[in-house]
Amino acid sequence: MNTTNSTRGKITVLGAGAWGTAVAIALAARHDVLLWGRDAAAMQDMAAARENTHYLPGFALPPALSVSGDFDAALAHLDGDEPLLIAACPVAGLRPLLGQLKSRAIPNVVWLCKGFEYGSGLLPHQVVREVLGESVPGAALSGPSFAQEVARGLPCALTVASDSKALCERVVKLVHGGNLRVYSSDDLVGVEVGGAVKNVLAIATGVADGLGLGLNARAALITRGLAEITRLGAALGGNLNTFMGLTGMGDLILTCTGDLSRNRRVGLELAQGKKLDQVVAELGHVAEGVPCARAVRELAAKLGVDMPITNAVAEVLFDGADAKASVVRLLARDPRGESA
């Protein structure tokens, strides 16, 4: 996967967590990239150390990568040919970040977050439209991707989804290259549902692995989990083919089996009897599957979509249910046709 792209763009990444930093590192080899974080002091330390010691330790920032805590400077960096604005915040931070952008002249916005906004039940593209309206082209960039591997330069395939063909083409033009491969889609709903719900299912597989239930159980959870993703995605208008692709099955397999998965780690720790607050505190990063489980449970109930694995995860996370007992209840469900 050594495809190169000679087009040089002006890219600003808003959000200096692990994933935002990894994307900035990967793109800085080919473009003029500025990485912004809201903590000005932390960004000064990062600029001095040339490393994100808190969220992505062990990966040196390329000399060409600019680092700043100045929001005005971050947006001014986009002045030039081929600008691309990337929002690399968690779902919970998307609306506040968009609020900062609302009064600014921005060329586009591409978000990396995966989940449903808790409270509203909205997908990221719906939050973007609600805050910025229809005038700013927007896109989701998603797929099976661990920050550490992208920062290391290992091969990775992603999907960009947008109802703007021009923005899809720009993202492919700028991001595709080196060891990053980018496919395009017009199915925003399908891409975002897959990216959101797979995090919940990764908690489930982590619990099963932590309980020592074996590889057969893990395979069953992944497969039936994909059925849940597909049911919810179809109810929201997603394309069924999307769930068989990178942002559905691909991301699900990675997050449920990879040891770098934060959500899988949450499940592993819960299986050892730890409380959720302790697990999240020790993790030190956002595990999107935790708030997403609550949002998806409420949305599925509203839509009448059967999601037993998701419901079991939410019971363990929020209702005080015992992890092992929840697995037993899942296994005791009445038999049915596999397509149900």
Q: What are the residue numbers of the active site?
A: 198
Q: Which helix (H) or strand (E) holds 327?
A: helix 323-331
CA distance 203 to 211: 12
Give the chain's length: 340
What is the DSSP annotation of 147-180? HHHHHHT--EEEEEE-S-HHHHHHHHHHH-BTTE
Kindly list the distances between the CA atom of residue 194 and the CA atoms of 199, 223, 233, 282, in Å, as whole numbers in the listed order.
Answer: 9, 13, 8, 27
> At a CB cut-off of 8 Å and minimum separation 6, what does 323 contact?
207, 210, 211, 270, 271, 316
Token output for 57: 């330790």
- The strand pairing partners of 142, in sequence order, are 159
- Which residue bears the tokens 């020790």? 282
CA distance 228 to 300: 10
Token output for 37: 């974080």
Kindly list the distances between the CA atom of residue 134 and the CA atoms of 30, 38, 126, 163, 327, in Å, as whole numbers in the listed order.
Answer: 30, 26, 10, 11, 44
- The strand pairing partners of 105, in sequence order, are none
CA distance 267 to 316: 10
- The strand pairing partners of 184, in sequence order, are 160
CA distance 170 to 10: 12
Instruction: Decide: residue 142, CB within 10 A, 0-12 exposed, 13-18 middle, 19+ buried.
Output: buried
> At a CB cut-off of 8 Å and minimum separation 6, what does 322 contact?
316
